[in-house]
Structure 1
Amino acid sequence: MDAHAPTFGLLLFPGLTQLDLTGPYEVLARVPGAKVHLIWKTLDPVAADTGMRILPTTTFADCPDLDLLLVPGGVGVNEQMGDAETLAFLRERARRTRHLASVCTGALVLGAAGLLKGRRAGTHWASRGFLEPFGAIPVAERVVIDGALFTGGGVTAGIDIALRIVGSLLGDPVAKGIQLSIEYDPHPPYDAGSPERAGAAETDAMRACMAPMLESRAAAVRAAVAALERA
């Protein structure tokens, strides 16, 4: 990265998971001199999947040059995988943004934009099977780095991804200082944060709860893959 203060962009869209966005935002906004933009089609408030309303700071049309563009996940990715305006923005920016990232199922939006072909990528465990249809190489890791592409697991993994981004771009001491400043020292009360740790019964129960959303997501992935093949 150049010596200038870094400029980070985080995509907004209706139905995003706010922690996918706000976790990385908390890390990236603490980089000395950094500018962080929240990007959407308009400057109208955007509602997250749990109802929190977030204000964009710039639009697709007015977004400045970025050192990093990050896409969060959430139930809204199903719609974004078929949103021509969002996908065109990501494709255009990927050609001139030095680093690309996603959190959780934001990787599927990158895939729908044709940006994951032949790339190692991660996403939420329940949606990992949707990566391969986009030509990605699924990786079951919390943070996955493939050159200038940073992806990873679900929701809380966004903090880890952002810290790895800062460490890669600006050096480990900067990333460690930010980790200390936010006291990111997790000690979860239950050892159930992954299918492997939660066990089959808990995982099956959660899959059953998520089944309607995953069925809708599968249809959205099929449509997005078909659109890529037609392009």
Structure 2
Amino acid sequence: MKKVCLLLPNGFEAVEASVFTDVIGWNKDEGDGSTQLVTVGTRNELKCTWNFTVIPEKVISEVTVHEFDALALPGGFEEAGFYEDAFRPDVLEFIREFDRQGKIIASICVGALPLGKSGILQGRQATTYNLNNRKRQLQLEAMGAHVIPDQPVVRDGNIITSFNPSTAFAVAFDLLESLTSTENANNVKRLMGFLA
């Protein structure tokens, strides 16, 4: 069984997290059955960007990177406290350890910024939120990433980044394909109505 850690900092965007739970869950029940997702929060209770409250299965202090095959990280809003949690030293070290072990790391939108802050995107291709005068892309560039501004999803080795919430399903399916196979990912896409 391939285990995905869905890391949830406070202030995360619910829609960006939910695509990972759905795609990995559909695969577990309707696809090849080889994946499992565990929600791991930075706190015992989290508030999403617009006050949706979530209780994760575990908190980051209760898990180790060795338990997982991949890391999934949604973005969130500064006004909701996302960066306060996403830039915590324990979160950044958790991200670094996934990269040191060569495990897949998939982020959506500004979920790439904690990756950049951790240092793992230094000299690597990536992207992040692309609107509002590219403020977040410029921020990621200042963290050492080689930003590809107009590409919706960017993959560099084991790291997947994307440029806004509209890319969420593409990232989740890319993660599933990396953990299983193209044939299986396409089957799950078909079952979910993304392919005819």
TM-score (norm 1): 0.72
2:30 corresponds in structure 1 to none
Match of 1:89 among 86, 94, 100: 94
2:75 is aligned with 1:73:
yes
For residues 26-175 of structure 1, the aligned pairs below 5 Å read 26-31=22-27, 32-42=33-43, 44-64=44-64, 65-75=67-77, 76-80=81-85, 82-96=87-101, 98-126=103-131, 127-139=136-148, 140-175=150-185
Moved over 4 A (4+): none
Give, in whole Å, the separation in 1 of the partners of 2:55 and 2:114. 21
Conserved 8 A contact 1:81-1:109: yes
1:16 corresponds in structure 2 to 12
The alignment partner of 1:29 has SS state of: helix
What are the superposed Cα offsets for residues 55-91 of structure 1, whole Å, 9 maximum, x if unpaired? 2112222225111101111114432354222222222
Give, in whole Å, the separation in 1 of the partners of 2:36 and 2:42. 19
Give, in whole Å, the separation in 2 of the partners of 1:61 and 1:83. 12
The alignment partner of 2:165 has SS state of: coil
> How many residues of Structure 1 are paired with residues of Structure 2 in the alignment?
180
Structure 1 portions without partners, runs of 5+:
186-231
2:170 is matched by which residue type in structure 1?
A: D
TM-score (norm 2): 0.84
The alignment partner of 1:78 has SS state of: helix
Give, in whole Å, the separation in 2 of the partners of 1:81 and 1:35. 23
Supply the RMSD in Å over aligned alpha carbons: 1.8
Conserved 8 A contact 1:77-1:108: no
Conserved 8 A contact 1:80-1:109: no
**Bigger radius of gyration among the two:** 1
1:129 is matched by which residue type in structure 2?
A: L
Structure 2 portions without partners, runs of 5+:
28-32
